[in-house]
A = this chain, B = another copy of it.
Amino acid sequence: MKDVARHAGVSISTVSYVLNDSGPVAPDRRARVLDAVRVLDYAPNESARRLKRRSASTVGLVVPDLANQFFALVAEGVAAAASARDVLVVLCAPEATEQPSHHAGLLRSQRVDGVICLSGTGTTAGSLLDLARIGPVVLVDEQIPGFDMPAVISDGRRGAREIGRHVLQHGHSRLAVIGGPTQLWTSGQRLAGYREALAAAGRDPDDVPVYVGDYRQRSGTELAKAALAGPPDIRPTALLCANDLMAIGALEYCRSVGLRVPEDVSIVGFDDLPMAALLTPRLTTVRQPAREMGHRAASLLFELLGDKPNGAGDGMFPVELQIRDSAGPPAS
């Protein structure tokens, strides 16, 4: 910057003025400065800048599992919104094996302005508290009772209720739920939705067993195996999976043991990953607008950070039942 000033024959503060539009500068001098900037290929040092102003134009993005396409799409939405405002995104993909507070510390030291946190196994009240000390935190697809942090969520409960009803309408009498991690809000919501559907159909929700998975494909496979272990006249004829990845795992298991879907067992998921419609059978599921949710989360965070209100309230995104081929009437 000193170089630029010298090259342009002005003082260093004049350079700053033109770079930030923060002071009146005579047109010719401004031109000289801009010119020097180009000639010297000068790029301001953001570290120094941040040190002075107390804001970083940077947000943290905590995502548990990029291999889950739902998260990847949310991340893309966040990145797009951030890019549109020239704010940087620092990516944290905490591994299950590490202390959740570790990343919080890193992010805090970076002085990121705020954080977007995607629902995932690491989301405990404690780790959220760590993040909250950094600055505003917006949650995606998660909510912690008693904390009321801003959150971008979708109406998972209703989605689960609708897909539950859809399955029940086919006349299944024995069902099982393959749910997500119990500590996750979404898991609870979806489970609640399934139970409402059951109750609405005059069934006792407590009659259907719930297998607790971790939202990964593998656990879908394993839990399907557990759920479908008994003899044909005992075993469930429909599996309500709390996300698509687990539904896919379940589908795989069925395929591997020769169970037909949906004739022998109906399987439904949740998320509507791009691949859901490409499976055979095409997966009946509930669509969540992942990219939009990421975008909204970022906008909401910017607003919290003092951007002019951009209409990004923390409302609920609607959810949409996608009826395809993986659920149907039981064969019997």
Bits for A254-275, please: 1 = Cβ < 8 Å to B, else 0. 0000000000000000000011
Stretch at the interface among A101-109, A144-152, A183-191: A101-109
| Residues of A65-116 whose CB lies within 8 A of B | 65-67, 69, 72-73, 75-76, 79-80, 83, 86, 88-95, 98, 103, 105-106, 108-111
The winner among A66, A76, A103, A217 for most chain B CB atoms within 10 A is A66
Complex-state Cα separation, A179 to B327, whole angstroms: 37
The winner among A103, A105, A278, A279 for most chain B CB atoms within 10 A is A278
CB <8 Å contact, A95 and B83: yes
Complex-state Cα separation, A79 to B93, whole angstroms: 6
Residues in B with CB closer than 8 Å to A83 are 92-95, 98, 103
CB <8 Å contact, B51 and A48: yes
The winner among A93, A94, A252 for most chain B CB atoms within 10 A is A93
| Residues of A113-144 whose CB lies within 8 A of B | 133
Complex-state Cα separation, A106 to B252, whole angstroms: 44
Return the contact of A90 from the options B65, B91, B278 (Cβ within 8 A): B91
CB <8 Å contact, B278 and A46: no
A22 interface contact, C-beta 8 A: no
| Residues of A178-208 whose CB lies within 8 A of B | none
CB <8 Å contact, A46 and B98: no
A315 interface contact, C-beta 8 A: no
Contacts from A to B (Cβ < 8 Å): 41, 43-48, 50-51, 56, 58, 61, 65-67, 69, 72-73, 75-76, 79-80, 83, 86, 88-95, 98, 103, 105-106, 108-111, 133, 217, 248, 251-252, 274-275, 278-280
Q: List 29 A-B contacts (CB under 8 A).
A: A41-B133, A43-B105, A45-B111, A47-B47, A47-B56, A48-B51, A51-B51, A66-B66, A66-B72, A69-B72, A72-B72, A75-B91, A76-B93, A79-B92, A83-B94, A83-B95, A86-B106, A88-B90, A88-B110, A90-B90, A90-B91, A217-B274, A251-B278, A252-B278, A275-B275, A278-B279, A279-B279, A279-B280, A280-B280
Closest approach, in angstroms, between the C-beta of A309 and any C-beta of chain B?
24
Complex-state Cα separation, A91 to B82, whole angstroms: 10
Closest approach, in angstroms, between the C-beta of A217 and any C-beta of chain B?
8
Q: Evaluate whether A51 and B45 lie within 8 angstroms (CB atoms) in the complex, with A83-B94, A90-B89, A93-B76 already known.
A: yes
Residues in B with CB closer than 8 Å to A66 are 66, 72-73, 75-76, 79
Complex-state Cα separation, A41 to B105, whole angstroms: 10
Complex-state Cα separation, A278 to B282, whole angstroms: 11
Closest approach, in angstroms, between the C-beta of A108 and any C-beta of chain B?
5
Complex-state Cα separation, A61 to B110, whole angstroms: 17
Residues in B with CB closer than 8 Å to A79 are 66, 91-93
Closest approach, in angstroms, between the C-beta of A269 and any C-beta of chain B?
12
Residue of chain B at shortest CB distance from A75? B66
Q: Evaluate whether A111 and B278 lie within 8 angstroms (CB atoms) in the complex, with A83-B93, A89-B91, A95-B80 already known.
A: no
Residue of chain B at shortest CB distance from A56? B47
